[in-house]
Amino acid sequence: MNFPIYRMRRLRRTGALRKLVRETELNASDLILPLFVAEGKNVKRPISSMPGHSQLSPDLIKKEVASVYKLGISAVILFGIPKKKDEKGAFAYAPNGPVQQAIRVIKKAVPGLIVITDVCMCEYTSHGHCGIIKNGDVDNDSTLKALAKEALSHARAGADIIAPSDMMDGRVGAIRETLDRNGFSRIPIMSYAAKYASAFYGPFREAAESTPSFGDRRSYQMDPANSDEAIREVELDIEEGADIVMVKPAMPCLDIIRMVKDTFRYPVAAYNVSGEYSMVKAASRKGWLDGEKAMMEMLLSIKRAGADIIVTYFAKEAAALLKKGE
């Protein structure tokens, strides 16, 4: 395969040729749009650090998901923002909480849209941590009971997929056992299996109102320096009953996405997180890069790394561009 007999540029010469031999395709159906559900009616609170996104009450989410579905996006994932919080995050499993309301609204309005629910305590606790605090730290085992109750409340409301993001040890098993015991064995679990303690989550803290009031989350989220640990985390979640495994954040962890896909051959999701979104938006506003091209290159690279599913705040914009290019 030596030059000049073999010329790599032959198949790059035209757009049609490039498309013919393209190895990775990005589709709207690969994308999941995160939505932030606020209590009340006619509530729309723009998120300053994430232009284009807002906290929405269930009645306004009804309008949002209709447009999402028309774009060919396969699913949304819901995060709840309650009016009241307490130390144990009890409102996370309230039958009429914001997420539970939104599930029912969405399934009635757009039955074909997959509704995924984030299961964690951070949006519901007064201290902003992902579990129940004992002796100044998150207590793993007592948190499992609360997470299982939250997951069950989502399943009862009509959720299609449960997605625990807390990073407590054993939470997938606890949720699987609770769902199965209560007649929800058909509900898949998409676990945040390898979730790193990342600086790229910053804007999400504003969106979900979940900034910890003390300390940080490094005692339960993964150290960004570790990769072998990610494989152990994913393996444990699969053994406990996870149906889809997620890597978060996406862009700093493309190597982890590939390792997970190659090792397990399981459905792999990747979370293109708030900081990744906001960086592109900020640079685009400054005129420092082409926002649309950067967005599509970013999403394509995540897919190329091995992700089957991409959770992204770019979902609607990307889907619209993909639809335009059909």
Give catalytic residue positions.
195, 248
Q: How far is CA 178 from CA 116, 147, 246, 273, in A?
A: 17, 10, 21, 29
Distance CA 66, CA 224 (A): 37
The single residue listed with the structure tokens 């690969």 is 30
Handedness of CA 143, 149, 150, 151 (dihedral sign): positive
Q: E strands, 57-164, where?
A: 75-81, 114-119, 133-134, 137-138, 161-164
Distance CA 108, CA 79 (A): 19
- Give the pair of three-digit tokens for residue 161: 């997929």
Distance CA 211, CA 108 (A): 33
Q: Apex CA 63: angle with CA 157 and CA 101, to 5°?
A: 20
Distance CA 157, CA 78 (A): 13
